[in-house]
Each structure stands twice: as structure tokens, then as C-alpha cells.
Amino acid sequence: MTAPLRSGDPIVVNVALGDRAYDIVIGRGLIASLGERIAKLRPGSKAAIVTDETVARHHLAVAEDSLKSAGIAVASVKVPAGESSKSFRMLERVCDELLAARIERGDLVVALGGGVVGDLGGFAASLIRRGVDYVQVPTSLLAQVDSSVGGKTAINSRQGKNLVGAFYQPILVVADTALLDTLPEREFRAGYAEVVKYGLLGDANFFEWLDVNWRDVFAGGPSREHAIAVSCRAKAAIVARDERETGDRMLLNLGHTFGHAFEAAAGFSDKLLHGEAVGLGMAMAFEFSARRGLIPKAAADRVIAHLAAAGLPTHVKAVRGGNWPTLDAMMDLISQDKKVQRGRLTFILVRGIGQAFVTRDVDAGEVRAFIAEKLNSRS
């Protein structure tokens, strides 16, 4: 998954949130200019990089050098890689270390990593000294197209994932697409599910383009920057309309209600990564929409064929290992999903490729029959 560095102008996507507006800068090799970009935005500031141990091994030195050569004093805080770092314990440690590094109002936190580091580092930035600025430097595909955009930050609690957090926007996002060359292929593929999602939920042309160019996105060709930019533009537009998810932002949950149930059933483990669950969930959302007569079956089949070609699971059978829970337990997981409002199931369904909509008009019995069929077809 390695391609030569390309020069050429980076792509800039603005997130239009009034006086909290910021740019997402996308390009291959951009990390070299990180320090310069930060120095321009906040002259004279210090910075602390929050990262995880795996990302640190690959990319921390380059990020530190870039900051230092722009005259920015830099400290680093490392946490273990993985979801378990989104905890109260690790949040406390990160806050303490940021304060020990004398990060003050006017200084910066730089979150260098995947969604875990972005969520944890961003949340810590929102808390210390009642909020200091932060910059996202996403290093996974999922983080470049999803978690670094839109200002949701959180940790997990005993009660569930992402239940303790804040809406807190960064002042800049620098997405260096070359950093993805060191990302394990399975993680890349999982992130790709969120890329396809933007096509499926609101942009049929983008889906058509991906159907032709997805291999170049994976290989690190010029299509990678384009795919990331289109994804960021799509999310930025939705976030600008609905920052706090009271309406349109819910469309971003396409594939997530079904997906989340399977992800939870797999215990949020390696058995099924988030993006893989989203791939499966989107396949199910299209199939379910076809079954309700909202779209022709051929449209669902096309989507499923694309997801499968890219190596994402589209069928429960494809999920490795597993004692799947009973139908009742699965229905519980679906109705406990945070997308439930006042006891009604909220689903994102489709009227076509690129035409997702939010509905609360889904009969629980119908969903139950659909899930039963999926669970029964496992073997």
C-alpha cells in the first residue's frame, strides 16, 4: 500500500461553523508542514502531542520534528493503542500529563492517531484549563474521513461506548494520506466502509466513482486524496447544518443501527471491527429497504457487490467465529442503540443509492423477522 510522495497543492475543506470554522487540509506528505501550519494559526504557542504507542512508532518523530523546526516547543503523551484507552483512567492520565507539560490557554493539544486518540485527546483538550485549542492529525482512514471531522469527542463508560464526552471542535485538521501507508490493511478496509457510506447516503455519483476507482484508493494513488476530500466535504456539510445531531446528522448513521447490534454482539472485539460492522449494516439497510419496496432489489445487489469486492462483510456468515446471541438479545441490542428516541426504533433507510432518509416508521416485528432470517442463515 505504498506510493511515492506527490507534490501538488493539498485539498482544503472548510467546516463552516461561524467563529469556530476550521480547515481540513488533505494531501500526501503534509505532516512535514504541520508545524508551519500551526505556527501560522497560533504564533508563539507550545504544543503537546497525544498519540498511541503504535502510531508513535511510525510517525511521532516526524510530527515532533515538524513542530520543532517551526519553533514550537513540543511534549508528547503516549497511551496504549486500542479502544480500552478511551477510559476515565486514561483521560485522567492524559490531562495530568498535559498539565505537567505546562499546556496553558493559548497552547495546543495535537491528537496524532486514529479515532481513539482523536476522541481521547480532543476530550482532554476540552477539559484542561476549561478548554485549550486542539489540532487533529488523523492517521487511520476512519479518522481521516469520519472521527476527526465534526467535533465529537468522548470516552467510554461502564454503561456503554462514547457516553461521556463533549462537542468540541478542533482549530485545524491535517490529514496526511501517506500516513495511511503503515495502517494494517484490515483497518484500512474498515475505514473504507465509512467512505462508501457518504456515497450511499447522499451522493450517487461518488458511489459510481468509487465503484470504478476504489482499488486506486486502497493502493494510495491520487484517488485516495479525492475520496477522502469528498468524504470530508460530505460530513462537513452535514455538520455545518446540524452540529448537535438533531436532524440531518443522523443520516451519518446509515448502516449503524444494524451494524452496532452486531458489533456489540461481537463484544466490540477483533471479531468485527466498527467499519466492518458498518459494511454489514449498510448491506442490511439496503436489503431491508428493497424488501420494503423502497428500492429495486438490483440496487441493493449492486451495493452489496461493491462492499464485498472491497472485502467487507456483507453477510453474517462472513463474520469470523462466534456464539451469536439469541434473537431476543439481538433485538435488545437494536432497541438499546442510541438512535432510539422515546421507545421508537429510528432507522436510516434508502430510496435509492445516494438517497438515505431517517424514519421512525419501522415496525419492530418486521425488523425481528429480518434479523431472525439473518441469524438462521449463518451456517
Ligand X SMILES: NC(=O)c1ccc[n+]([C@@H]2O[C@H](COP(=O)([O-])OP(=O)(O)OC[C@H]3O[C@@H](n4cnc5c(N)ncnc54)[C@H](O)[C@@H]3O)[C@@H](O)[C@H]2O)c1
Annotated active-site positions, please? 130, 152, 194, 235, 245, 249, 253, 256, 260, 274
Which residues face 153 on adjacent strands?
166
Euclidean distance between CA atoms 210 and 282, whole angstroms? 16
The residues binding ligand X (CB under 6 A) are: 52, 54-55, 58, 81-83, 86, 113-117, 119, 139-140, 142-143, 146-147, 150, 152, 161-162, 179-180, 182-183, 187, 274
Nearer to ligand X, 67 or 331 (CB): 67
How many helical (H) and strand (E) elements, i.e. helices and strands, does the chain have? 14, 11
CB of 108 to ligand X, least distance (A): 19
Give 63-68's long-range contacts (Cβ < 8 A, gap of 24+): 63/31, 63/34, 63/110, 63/112, 63/137, 66/31, 66/32, 66/33, 66/34, 66/35, 66/36, 67/34, 67/35, 67/38, 67/110, 68/35
Nearer to ligand X, 51 or 289 (CB): 51
CB of 117 to ligand X, least distance (A): 6
| Closest residue to ligand X: CB criterion | 115
Nearer to ligand X, 59 or 226 (CB): 59
CB of 133 to ligand X, least distance (A): 17
Nearer to ligand X, 143 or 265 (CB): 143
CB of 52 to ligand X, least distance (A): 5
Residue 209, C-beta contacts closer than 8 angstroms, at least 6 positions apart: 199
Sequential DSSP letters for 90-102: HHHHHHHHHHHTT
Euclidean distance between CA atoms 303 and 282, whole angstroms? 9
- Identity (one letter) of the amino acid at 20? R
Nearer to ligand X, 133 or 287 (CB): 133
Euclidean distance between CA atoms 166 and 153, whole angstroms? 5
CB of 3 to ligand X, least distance (A): 15
